[in-house]
Each structure stands twice: as C-alpha cells, then as structure tokens.
Amino acid sequence: MDFQEKNKKQIEWLLQGDPAIRYQTLRDLVGANLRDINRERQKILKESWGRRFMGLQEEDGTWSNALYSPKWTSTFYTLLVLKRFGAVNDKNTERACRILLDKGFYAEDGGINYWKTWKQGECCVTGMLLSMLCHFQIEDDRIDRMVEYLISEQMPDNGWNCERYRGAKHSSFHTTLSVLEGLWEYEKKTPDSDLLKSIQKKQEEGIEFLLSHHLYKSNRVWKAVDPKMTKLSFPPRWHFDIMRGLDYFQEKNVKWDKRMADAMDLLINKRTPEGFWKLEIKYPAKTFFEMEKVGKESRWNTLRALRIVKWWENSHS
C-alpha cells in the first residue's frame, strides 16, 4: 500500500482545513499538479486564517504598531506565521518585510537589532528575518550582509548562539535552527549567489551539530536538554522542537543518519490510535486568535508529521 492510500483518512481531513493546510497537503503529500497547488496557495492571504491576519495589519504596514514585541502579535511574529503558512508575497507583506529590514538592519556588523541598548546584531532574530525576506522574495543588497554576518557568528562546535557575545561556549538549538532555516531559504532564493558554497557548507556543519545531539539531547548525559523540545507546537515561534528540526531535514532531504532515530521514534509514537498528531503545547504570550486547541488533534502537526514520515520512509527505501 502506498503512502497516500495508507494515510487516506488523514489526508482527506487535512484537505478540509485552512487554505494554508490544503496548499501544503497538495504540495507535500498528494503530489497534485502545479496549477492546483498554486491556485490553493493564492487563497492563503484571502481566506480564513490568512485573511484574519491581514485584516489586523495597521495602516502603517505593521501589526500592533510594533516591530518585534509584544509577542506574538508584533509585525515580526505575524509575518513569521504567514511565512510558515507558505503565503505568497503581496504589497502588504512586502511592506512589512521592508519595515522590519529598514528598522532592524545594524550596519556595523550586518545583523538585525531591534533594541536600542543592544550594540550588535542578534543572531537568532537575523536568521528568522532572513528566512522571511527570502521566502517573500525581497530583493535588497543588505540581505547578503545578513548572510555574511550569520556566517561570521558560527561557533567552534558548528552551531550558533545569540548569547555568544556574553561568553556562551556552546551553541543553542534554538538559534542554530533559526540560522539554518534562514540560510536554506537564501539558498533556494539565490542559487547563483557567490555565497552559495559557503552557506551550503555552513548548513552541513550546523546539521552535524544537531545530529551530534540526536536533535534534542545533551551529549554529556544523553537526556533531553529541555522537555519542551519533545513537545509538538504550532507555530514554533523561535523555539526549537523535534518536529521543527525534522521538518527542516525533510525539506532539505537530508540523507538518513541513525542519529535521527531517537527523534523520529518520539514523533512516530506521538501518533494517536486514530492516526493523527495533537497540539501538545503553546508558548505563552498574547495572540490575535487561536488556530487550534492544546490537547486536540492538530491539522498543522498532522500535516508536518506526515511529510516527515514520508521523507523518513523514502530515505530507507
């Protein structure tokens, strides 16, 4: 039985969801034709959740009249959700992207900084904004400067940590994945860049950092660094968790490695007897509205888990 047939009930349920869910289901699970995929994608900002977010945008192009804070209703975190939806760029998302770039770009080192007391770029924020700017196809010379800044911030253990300037000696799972996602979006957008070989190498090194920790474990005591890393959330905001890490791996089609197995076993064992995945945790702060309820079956997590499982099974075949 092929993957689609085996997961027919779950796929049918996903196709009854929000346009962002339907778009990614058609793209990643169904293998629909490009015309149908693109038609669904065009609906993301015009219907349901996407339309609600766009209706909350202020006249000046921001959300909540704010750049990074308050979480999770600021311009930064709203745009990050729309990026995770897979939304296309339009004049309103482009305006928001340019506000975040113009207000955050720190010319001295090329990073992004939204705090007056901060005297350098912030690595995690720079990686997340890079992923948004590239996803929404923004053209600006400062984007290359951001990439160069991230490359310069890599730590000796091959990951990244926004606390490096304070003396951190070990990379952060959260920062590392935010940087990797940003570099991946840049690679997809700019495959002919002079920086291509460098960012591919940096991604390989960052992936090795995550694999050396089996994605979520301390490599000293081999237990979860933080139990929340094993909980399934959406949207993940800036937080690392096993699903976010594995979803990055599946999108890049990272080669199978036995060090992925612990995280994959955890994910697969979270599947309910009915064949779905639940929303297990939300990160506390104000939101505009609730997409899904904690403890209930989650379309977002079922979608992401299924495409991870599909990649995992294909990597073994």
Whether residue 64 contacts residue 75, with contact meaning beta carbons closer than 8 Å, is answered with yes
pLDDT tens, position by position, for the chain (317 residues)?
Answer: 799 999 999 999 999 999 999 999 999 999 899 999 999 999 999 999 999 999 999 999 999 999 999 999 999 999 999 999 999 999 999 999 999 999 999 989 999 999 988 889 999 999 999 999 999 999 999 999 999 999 999 999 999 999 998 899 999 999 999 999 999 999 999 999 999 999 999 999 999 999 999 999 998 889 999 999 999 999 999 999 999 999 999 999 999 999 999 999 999 999 999 999 999 999 999 999 999 999 999 999 999 999 999 999 998 76
Both 72 and 184 in one domain: the answer is yes
Both 189 and 281 in one domain: the answer is no
Both 32 and 105 in one domain: the answer is no
Both 203 and 270 in one domain: the answer is no
What tokens appear for 260 in the block? 């992925």
Q: Which long-range contacts (CB under 8 A, 24 or more apart) does 281-284 make?
A: 281/228, 281/231, 281/232, 281/233, 282/233, 283/71, 283/72, 283/233, 283/237, 283/239
Domains in the chain, number: 3
Q: Residue 117, Cβ neighbours under 10 Å: how many?
A: 5
* Domain of 228, in residue numbers: 220-317
Domain termination residue (choose one: 192, 212, 232):
212
Judged by DSSP in three states, 46 sits in coil
Q: Residue 89, Cβ neighbours under 10 Å: how many?
A: 14
Both 78 and 205 in one domain: the answer is yes
